[in-house]
Amino acid sequence: MSEQACVYIMASKRNGTIYIGSATDLAKRIWEHRNDVVPGFTRQYDCKLLVWYEVAGSWEAARLRERQMKKWNRAWKLREIEGFNPDWEDLYDRVALP
């Protein structure tokens, strides 16, 4: 899954720290988070598991959805994750492998 605008959630562990972001190349961006390429929140809080993602129609739509979700309370975010990925599996291989 490359070159599609996506919104995603990274986690440190099940019910741990979560991070919401958006990207046009999801596999590349998740690889950067997992390998501590860019300093910031995900590195500081060890958010390396891709637990949720959603393809958006455009980069603008992805950014808008990201900003909306960041305003949600934690319970809503957890409900979104568990509706898509009830076992909090790491979904990286789904997006990184062709």
Q: Where are the domains of the chain?
A: 6-96
Q: Each residue of 27-69: pLDDT tens digit?
A: 999 999 999 998 999 999 999 999 999 999 999 999 999 999 9
Give whole-number Cα distances, 27 to 1, 53, 76, in Å. 7, 11, 25
CATH tag, 6-96: 3.40.1440
Instruction: Read off the tokens for 73.
Output: 């309370």
What is the percent of the chain with per-residue pLDDT over 90, rounded to a whole number? 93
As given in the structure block, the two tokens for residue 56 are 């958006």
Residue type, 59: W
